[in-house]
């Protein structure tokens, strides 16, 4: 593949481009699901194509194709060059890339069992067994069990001399029971909502999730939610379980720290951010307990790779350190705008057909020092919320509201009543400043976001957010808050 890529690099160099690169990507995706006793999806597809970026006279040009011939590589590269030349006459400011060494390397997601080597029959047998358990109560009107596997093989070559090959692998699975009775509808999912759990691993993840062993509990809780009391309203201490805390981190910290959004490049479509650059190193984002770490080297993380799509080597850095805003998600184009001489490496594209843009990296709330059980015992009047059901946040990533699948009241240090339709709301810095306890590393888990949308035209990216359950004091809970 690098011999194919060499054509694009040679054309970029011959035409005096400031920078040029080509990414060749072969992606295999397998999706299986069982719904209501029948196969809901059974897809296995492969795509192959390439995208070329050219930086000329301070402006970007990009073009792509799925025709893998030398003549097409030449045509696409020249098209990207023409687009860059046209854009240079309209640019408001010249693009300048932060420097990065050249790399010649191979990197692959570690795994034990290649999921594509596991027979589809074995996967479907497990899905049918899980879904059958979910359906054992007549009040469960819809039941789904699903798996998804993705392998992305990349070849990346730049005019700066980088020659990087990567094989990125992810596996995911989950199940969902929807119970209905007397006009009430309640969902319960495992291990998380929105498709389940996905990590950069092999088929061993599916075995470790123990879907079948958890299916009965999922069904019973879905049915129990139908008659559970509604979530009370008021100011209560809120304990957020990891699968919901992942969404909280994603929406109120991840997107707020994307530097292109902070600088206003997303404002007309997806909004901006309150976490503006003059706050870097000064602004109290959260309590001193709050440490949020971006990490492209995190084992199992969906944004984990050897290099990003700017050919920047994977790194680990603080977004929030001891409660203070300390970093951003950057690419090579914008890193210099905050005085950095190197990107933190958060540039990725959705497949070969899109230009790389700034994306959220794996972003985790680091664990505290209290066992989860003690955190509950230390709570007098609170509520535990688990599994995201809905989210809403304003265009500056300040005002938010989240709904969850299930809540449990905590009274005098004991987890008690199951409540339905729990919601909470807040303002980002006030909320994170109310964090007074984070469970220890024994409860620290990775959770996935597989559908993060951004850009025009729209792109989808995956990333992970790890956390232990955490407590936030006097949060507005329920619709009466």
Backbone dihedral region for residue 421 (phi beyond 0: left; psi -120 to 50: alpha; all else: beta): left
Rounded Cα distance, 438 and 373, in Å: 11
In contact, 58 and 88? CB cutoff 8 Å: yes
In contact, 347 and 201? CB cutoff 8 Å: no
Cis peptide before 284 (omega within 30 of 0): no
pLDDT tens per residue across all 481 residues of the chain: 999 999 999 999 999 999 999 999 999 999 999 999 999 999 999 999 999 999 999 999 999 999 999 999 999 999 999 999 999 998 889 999 999 999 999 999 999 999 999 999 999 999 999 999 999 999 999 999 999 999 999 999 999 999 999 999 999 999 999 999 998 999 999 999 999 999 999 999 999 999 999 999 999 999 999 999 999 999 999 999 999 999 999 999 999 999 999 999 999 888 999 999 999 999 999 999 999 999 999 999 999 999 999 999 999 999 999 999 999 999 999 999 999 999 999 999 999 999 999 999 999 999 999 999 999 999 999 999 999 999 999 999 999 999 999 999 999 999 999 999 999 999 999 999 999 999 999 999 999 999 999 998 999 999 999 999 999 999 999 975 3
In contact, 311 and 160? CB cutoff 8 Å: yes
- Token look-up 């350190």 returns 321
Report the pLDDT value the prediction gives residue 102, as an integer from 0 to 100.
98
Helix 211-227, helix 120-134: angle, nearest 10: 30
Rounded Cα distance, 3 and 81, in Å: 20
**4-43 per-position pLDDT tens digit:** 999 999 999 999 999 999 999 999 999 999 999 999 999 9
Report the pLDDT value the prediction gives residue 269, as an integer from 0 to 100.
87
What is the pTM assigned to this prediction? 0.96
Q: Strand 234-240 relative to strand 197-199: parallel, antiparallel, unpaired?
A: unpaired
Rounded Cα distance, 100 and 232, in Å: 53
**388-411 per-position pLDDT tens digit:** 999 999 999 999 999 999 999 999
Backbone dihedral region for residue 64 (phi beyond 0: left; psi -120 to 50: alpha; all else: beta): beta
- Residue in 234, 284, 236, 231 with CA at minimum distance from that of residue 472: 236
CATH 3.30.2290.10 domain locations along the chain: 2-227
Rounded Cα distance, 223 and 134, in Å: 10
In contact, 449 and 198? CB cutoff 8 Å: no
Q: Strand 104-108 relative to strand 163-181: parallel, antiparallel, unpaired?
A: parallel
In contact, 344 and 40? CB cutoff 8 Å: no
CATH class, range 2-227: alpha beta
Report the pLDDT value the prediction gives residue 481, as an integer from 0 to 100.
39
- Residue in 299, 428, 423, 288 with CA at minimum distance from that of residue 364: 299
């Amino acid at each position: 593949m690098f011999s194919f890529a060499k054509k694009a690099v040679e054309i970029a160099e011959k035409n005096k481009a400031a920078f040029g690169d080509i990414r060749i990507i072969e992606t295999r995706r397998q999706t299986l699901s069982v719904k209501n006793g029948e196969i809901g999806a059974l897809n296995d597809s492969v795509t192959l194509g390439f995208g070329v970026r050219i930086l000329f006279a301070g402006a970007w040009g990009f073009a792509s194709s799925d025709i893998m011939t030398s003549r097409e590589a030449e045509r696409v590269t020249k098209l990207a060059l023409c687009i860059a030349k046209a854009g240079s006459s309209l640019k408001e400011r010249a693009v300048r890339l932060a420097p990065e060494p050249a790399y010649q390397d191979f990197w692959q997601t570690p795994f034990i069992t290649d999921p594509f080597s596991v027979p589809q029959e074995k996967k479907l047998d497990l899905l049918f067994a899980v879904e059958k358990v979910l359906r054992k109560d007549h009040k469960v009107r819809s039941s789904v069990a699903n798996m998804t596997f993705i392998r992305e093989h990349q070849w990346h070559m730049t005019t700066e001399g980088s020659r990087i090959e990567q094989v990125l692998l992810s596996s995911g699975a989950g199940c969902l029971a929807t119970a209905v009775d007397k006009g009430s509808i309640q969902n319960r999912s495992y291990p998380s909502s929105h498709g389940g759990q996905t990590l950069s691993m092999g088929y061993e993840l599916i075995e470790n999730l123990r879907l079948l062993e958890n299916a009965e509990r999922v069904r019973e809780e879905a049915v129990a939610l139908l008659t559970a009391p509604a979530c009370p309203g008021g100011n209560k201490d809120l304990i957020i379980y990891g699968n919901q805390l992942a969404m909280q981190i994603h929406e109120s910290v991840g997107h707020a720290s994307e530097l292109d959004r902070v600088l206003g490049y997303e404002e007309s479509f997806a909004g901006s951010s309150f976490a503006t650059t003059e706050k870097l190193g000064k602004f109290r984002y959260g309590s001193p307990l709050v440490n949020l770490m971006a990490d492209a080297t995190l084992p199992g993380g969906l944004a984990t790779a050897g290099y990003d799509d700017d050919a920047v080597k994977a790194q680990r850095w603080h977004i929030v350190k001891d409660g203070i805003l300390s970093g951003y998600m950057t690419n090579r184009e914008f890193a210099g705008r905050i005085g950095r001489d190197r990107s933190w490496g958060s540039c990725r594209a959705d497949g070969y057909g899109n230009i790389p843009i700034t994306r959220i990296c794996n972003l985790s709330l680091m664990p505290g020092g209290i066992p989860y059980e003690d955190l509950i015992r230390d709570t007098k009047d609170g509520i535990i919320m688990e599994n995201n059901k809905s989210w809403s946040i304003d265009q500056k990533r300040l005002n938010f509201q989240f709904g969850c699948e299930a809540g449990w009241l905590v009274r005098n240090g004991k987890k008690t009543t199951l409540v339905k339709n729990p919601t909470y709301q807040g303002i980002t810095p006030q909320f994170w400043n109310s964090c007074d306890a984070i469970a220890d590393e024994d409860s620290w888990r990775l959770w996935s976001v597989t559908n993060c949308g951004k850009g025009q035209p729209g792109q989808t990216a995956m990333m992970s957010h790890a956390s232990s359950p955490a407590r936030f004091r006097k949060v507005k809970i329920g619709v009466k808050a």
